[in-house]
């Protein structure tokens, strides 16, 4: 029976479909996996367990849907916007955006608690965060709904403070910044957007275009855009359909439009619409402000009205393209310094271009190169425009195909007299927004289950759309509800599936890397936003629907993109909180006294521990509090020196607080790198590290998730040239050499498909006799030779799994086995 050795050291083909299980004749088979779940295939070929998510906040109303959108003002000021039912809230630097603080001067031990804050300016229903209270510390770090406001006080709705510690002094209240929007929870996933600087435009087919403006680091406003001088429909062509302007004739004046000649052009849904009147020499622009009848409306003049128009019955007039009658754009983009709008219900194939030079809200039409203009393109199917995307050309997505728009010579900018539109791609799109990933445009095909990549073919001189789900046709599940893209640390397309999983595509075209993988969690992902942080790295903000202690909750959580595995970055639990006791102050140990170089201690530190960080093992228990710089200690293990530098020591704890969002749930705990026994969060939002364990200086606690990587069924390349394919032949995996990088814990699982046979589980990375017994098992980098003895099977299915809150990176797997020839 021949022996074989097979190396798998490249996982960039990603998770492949069962439909290619027999395709051991092409290279991607050996670079792919049948399962890559909660692992990130990295462009270098290795695969790393994804980071866990940090809990930020519950959405405003967990019973309703919310969606996330990204707002980028600069490389250092980026925001995630939580759109919910008729509201929006904001996050930046992994925290809520809060308004300026109001000073607290009192808090009652009453039911409910009453806060005194002079001239706070709050209203009933506002939500505030309270911090820095001395005495009644139970209030700190939590959010509350404001009720029964007076000029200088307000209640914390539903908060019984009768058992709280008495208020002593200080405290700040911060209102959560929130704005009103016109979008219901049913509409928030259908928004299209584009941005320039501190202004972001939103389009939705049932609402006027809205403009989100950033006024300061913690203040935004949302307002309806009042477009100037258009766009308008074609001019009226019926000579007997007349409209007369009467009343004020100056810009800003109130006036009236009256229709005569038998036509009835107006309805109540025209309120807010623009209208244009023309004589042989002049034109006037007005906005309808009130409806009287189908022949009479009130208006506001948006320009001066010339004598050739005022009080004259005119047959030359045009209706505004955007109104409750005609609908509003569903697609929006900024292209060549113009705002481009498209996809209204009444004009589904029209595109409206603003004036150029970033005059985005001016739609005054003309024939000059910088004038606004409207273009209608033809389609055999009459397909409505679903999205538009600006690249080196403008792409238009419809259900029947993708169109390319450029100037006729492909070098000059678009103008009213030079625009070339051609249909290049027959595979039409879904309503989901297209994304740019690694210089390519990617979109979801109509039907929601195939993703395509647009590329230019020199042979055909046309753009083409390649199916990038061809060998992973399962990856979109039953359909996609949202698209997004990420560029750092690698280029990714992100698809949120209907079943609550995330499908990600890593795409690095220069390296011929194209691989899918999936994120799952204890709940359902519903929305994502990719936000660049102040370290110029992109974090994945998510809204996750979870069942917590039998109640539906929706949380905003963030997954950091780094692969660092020092104690503070090693977050491998979902919806987690982190305790970091590291102190940025020097510490001097003298007998039973510890003196810090700055104010770091508080009276609540009594009973906690001081730990020396790194490889040193110095430990002491705090037994008494003197002041913010001095405490009495009992030394348990000697410190490496009498003086410790800043950030080389920490205050360690065993009681983890603040997990109110996970009350009643079992959480996994990583404490200074050690995996602790899972614990259930009590009614106070607390869990304890077991008495037999050391206190923790840096602790992560959250929900468990499993990362799983399973190579494609083992088929021997080396034996093919001698014996032909090994498919269908009995084979056994005798052992595997797995090359790990910065890994702690995990197991190999041999799947048994035969009846009455159990899977084989082999633990990996156990403690070595060389390891210090009072320190956590160090991260392992190197080869582990694991005996498997899988037994004979026609398909050898091996999984590598990690369910502990610990890192794992797989660089290669070498399988050694035998084929029963």
Question: Are residues 672 and 595 both part of a single domain?
Answer: yes
Q: What angle do CA 706, 710, 714 make, to 5 degrees?
A: 165
What gap in Å lies between CA 76 and CA 536, rounded to an integer?
Answer: 8
Q: Is residue 164 part of a domain?
A: yes
In a domain, 534, yes or no: no
Predicted local confidence at residue 766, as pLDDT: 58
Task: Provide mean pLDDT across the span 386-407.
Answer: 94
For the segment 290-312, the average pLDDT, to the nearest whole number, is: 97
One-letter-per-residue 3-state SS of 585-637: CCEEEECCEEEECCCCCCHHHCCCEEEECCCCCCEEEEEEEEECCEEEEEEEE
Same domain, 688 and 736: no
Say whether both 614 and 659 belong to one domain. Answer: yes
Q: Say yes or no to pLDDT of 778 above 60.
A: yes
Q: What is the mean pLDDT of residues 342-349?
A: 94
In a domain, 287, yes or no: yes
Q: DSSP per residue over 54-89, as a string? A: EEEEE-S-TTS--EEEEEESSSS-EEEEEEETTEEE
Write out pLDDT tens, residues 350-384. Answer: 999 999 999 999 999 999 999 999 999 876 666 88
Q: What are phi and psi of 511, to 5 degrees?
A: -100, 5
Q: What confidence tier does 769 reach under pLDDT thresholds 50, 70, 90?
A: very low
The pLDDT score that the predictor gives to residue 383 is: 80
Shared domain for 698 and 714, answered yes or no, is no
Task: Indicate if the pLDDT at residue 385 is higher than 50.
Answer: yes
Please provide residue 379's backbone torsions phi and psi, each rounded to the nearest 5 degrees: -145, 135
Contact 589, 620 (CB under 8 A): yes
pLDDT tens for each residue of 146-197: 999 999 999 999 999 999 999 999 999 999 999 999 999 999 999 999 999 9
Q: Let me know whether 642 and 717 are in one domain.
A: no
pLDDT of residue 777: 79
Answer whether residue 217 shows pLDDT above 60. Answer: yes
Domain encompassing residue 111: 102-176
Reported as a single tens digit per residue, the pLDDT across 403-439 is 999 998 877 899 999 999 999 999 999 999 999 998 8
Per-residue exposure over 746-778, b if at least 16 CB sit within 10 Å of its own CB, e if not: bbbbbeeeeeeeeebebebbeeeeeeeeeebbb
**Token pair listed for 370:** 């910088």
| Domain match, 671 and 743 both | no
- Residue 718 has a pLDDT of 61
pTM for the predicted model, two decimal places: 0.94
**Domain at 756, CATH number:** 2.60.120
Q: What is the pLDDT of residue 768?
A: 52
Interatomic CA distance for residues 113 and 155, integer angstroms: 6
Query: How does pLDDT run across 31-44, given as a tens digit for each residue?
Result: 999 999 999 999 99
Whether 716 is in a domain gets the answer yes
**Listed residues 262, 290, 319: the one ending a domain:** 319
Specify the CATH number for the domain of residue 133.
Answer: 2.40.30.180
Percent of the chain, pLDDT > 90? 80
Domain final position from 176, 194, 229:
176
Residue 735 and residue 802 in one domain? yes
Q: CA 750, CA 758: separation in Å to the nearest integer?
A: 9
Could you tell me if residue 385 is inside a domain?
no
Dihedral pair phi/psi, residue 89, rounded to 5°: -125, 170
Task: List, for residues 692-713, the tens digit of each pLDDT value.
Answer: 899 999 999 999 999 999 998 8
Q: Are residues 753 and 666 in the same domain?
A: no
* pLDDT value for 298: 98
Closest CA to 502 of 548, 541, 547, 452: 541
Q: CA-CA distances (angstroms) from residue 197 to 214, 215, 339, 494? A: 9, 11, 14, 25
The pLDDT confidence band at residue 665, using thresholds 50, 70 and 90, is very high
Determine the Cα–Cα distance for residues 547 and 554; give it in Å rounded to an integer: 9
Percent of the chain with pLDDT over 70: 95
Find the mean pLDDT for residues 542-551: 97
Q: What is the pLDDT of residue 761?
A: 85
Residue 86 falls within a domain, yes or no? no
Tell me: do 602 and 679 sit in the same domain.
yes
The tally of domains found in the chain comes to 4
Residue 817 confidence (pLDDT): 82
Same domain, 768 and 681: no
Instruction: Evaluate whether residue 383 is within a structural domain.
Output: no
The average pLDDT across 124-149 equals 94
Does 728 score more than 90 pLDDT? no
**Could you tell me which residue, 319 or 816, shows the higher pLDDT?**
319
Does any domain span residue 29?
Answer: yes
Give the contacts of 582 (CB within 8 A, at least 6 positions apart). 568, 613, 647, 649, 650, 697, 698
Same domain, 739 and 685: no
Mean per-residue pLDDT of the chain: 92
Q: Among 686, 702, 718, which residue terminates a domain?
A: 702
Specify whether 172 is located in the same domain as 113. Answer: yes
Measured CA to CA, the distance from residue 577 to residue 582 in angstroms comes to 15
């Amino acid at each position: 029976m021949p022996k074989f050795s097979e190396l798998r050291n490249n996982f960039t083909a990603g998770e492949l479909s069962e439909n290619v299980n027999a395709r051991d004749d092409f290279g991607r088979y050996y670079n792919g996996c049948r399962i890559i779940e909660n692992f990130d295939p990295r462009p270098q070929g290795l695969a790393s367990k994804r980071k866990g998510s940090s809990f930020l906040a519950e959405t405003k109303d967990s019973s309703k849907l919310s969606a996330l959108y990204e707002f980028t003002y600069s490389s250092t000021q980026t925001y995630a916007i939580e759109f919910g039912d008729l509201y929006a809230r904001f996050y930046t630097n992994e925290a809520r955006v809060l308004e300026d603080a109001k000073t607290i001067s009192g808090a009652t031990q009453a039911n409910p608690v009453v806060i005194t804050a002079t001239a706070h300016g709050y209203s009933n229903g506002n939500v505030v965060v309270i911090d820095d209270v001395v005495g009644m510390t139970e209030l700190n770090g939590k959010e509350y709904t404001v009720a029964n406001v007076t000029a200088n006080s307000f209640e914390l709705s539903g908060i019984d403070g009768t058992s709280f510690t008495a208020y002593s002094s200080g405290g700040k209240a911060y209102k959560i910044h929130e704005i009103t929007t016109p979008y219901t929870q049913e509409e928030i996933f259908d928004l299209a957007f584009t941005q320039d600087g501190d202004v972001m435009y939103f389009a939705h087919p049932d609402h006027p275009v809205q403009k989100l403006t950033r006024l300061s680091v913690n203040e935004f406003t949302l307002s309806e855009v009042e477009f100037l001088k258009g766009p308008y429909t074609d001019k009226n062509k019926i000579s007997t359909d007349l409209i007369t302007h009467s009343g004020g004739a100056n810009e800003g004046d109130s006036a009236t439009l009256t229709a005569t000649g038998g036509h009835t052009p107006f309805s109540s849904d025209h309120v807010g619409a623009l209208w244009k009147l023309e004589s042989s020499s002049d034109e006037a622009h007005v906005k309808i402000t009130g409806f009287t009848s189908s022949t009479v409306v009130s208006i506001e003049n948006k320009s001066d009205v010339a004598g050739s128009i005022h009080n004259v019955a005119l047959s030359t007039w045009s209706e505004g393209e955007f109104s409750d009658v005609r609908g509003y754009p569903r697609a929006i983009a900024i292209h060549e310094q113009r705002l481009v709008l498209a996809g209204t219900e009444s004009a589904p194939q029209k595109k409206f271009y603003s004036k150029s030079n970033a005059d985005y809200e001016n739609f005054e039409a003309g024939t000059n190169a910088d004038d606004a203009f409207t273009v209608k393109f033809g389609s055999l199917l009459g397909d409505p425009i679903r999205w538009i995307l600006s690249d080196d050309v403008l792409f238009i997505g419809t259900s029947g195909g993708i169109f390319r728009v450029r100037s006729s010579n492909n070098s000059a900018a678009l103008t009213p007299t030079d625009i070339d539109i051609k249909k290049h791609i027959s595979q039409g799109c879904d309503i989901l927004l297209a994304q740019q990933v690694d210089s390519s445009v990617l979109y979801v095909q109509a039907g929601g289950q195939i993703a395509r990549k647009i590329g230019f073919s020199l042979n055909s001189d046309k753009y083409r759309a390649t199916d990038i789900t061809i060998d992973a046709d399962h990856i979109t599940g039953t359909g996609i509800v949202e698209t997004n893209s990420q560029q750092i640390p690698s280029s990714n397309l992100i698809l949120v599936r209907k079943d609550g999983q995330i499908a990600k595509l890593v795409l690095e075209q220069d390296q011929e890397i194209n691989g899918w993988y999936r994120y799952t969690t204890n709940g359902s992902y519903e929305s994502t936003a990719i936000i660049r942080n102040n370290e110029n790295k992109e974090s994945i903000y998510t809204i996750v629907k979870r069942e917590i202690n039998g109640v539906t909750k929706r949380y905003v959580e963030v997954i950091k993109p780094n692969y660092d595995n020092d104690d503070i970055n090693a977050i491998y639990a979902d919806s987690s909180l982190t305790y970091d006791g590291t102190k940025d102050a020097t510490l001097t140990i003298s007998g039973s006294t510890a003196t810090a170089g700055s104010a770091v201690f508080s009276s609540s530190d009594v009973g906690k521990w001081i730990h020396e960080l790194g490889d040193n093992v110095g430990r002491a228990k705090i037994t008494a509090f003197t002041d913010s710089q001095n405490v009495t200690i009992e030394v348990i293990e000697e410190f490496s020196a009498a003086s410790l530098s800043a950030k080389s020591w920490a205050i360690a704890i065993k009681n983890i607080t603040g997990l109110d969002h996970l009350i009643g749930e079992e959480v996994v705990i990583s404490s200074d790198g050690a995996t602790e026994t899972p614990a259930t969060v009590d009614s106070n939002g607390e869990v304890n590290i077991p008495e037999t364990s050391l206190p923790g200086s840096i602790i992560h606690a959250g929900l468990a998730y499993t990362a799983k990587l399973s190579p494609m069924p083992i088929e021997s390349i080396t034996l093919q040239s001698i014996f032909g394919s090994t498919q269908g032949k009995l084979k056994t995996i005798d052992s595997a050499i797995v090359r790990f990088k910065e890994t702690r814990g995990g197991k190999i699982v041999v799947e048994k498909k035969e009846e009455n046979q159990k899977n084989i589980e082999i633990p990996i990375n156990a403690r070595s006799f060389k390891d210090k017994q009072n320190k956590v098992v160090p991260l392992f980098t190197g080869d582990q030779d694991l005996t498997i003895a899988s037994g004979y099977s026609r398909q050898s299915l091996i999984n590598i799994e990690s369910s502990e809150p610990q890192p794992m990176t797989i660089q290669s797997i070498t399988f050694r086995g035998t084929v029963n020839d």
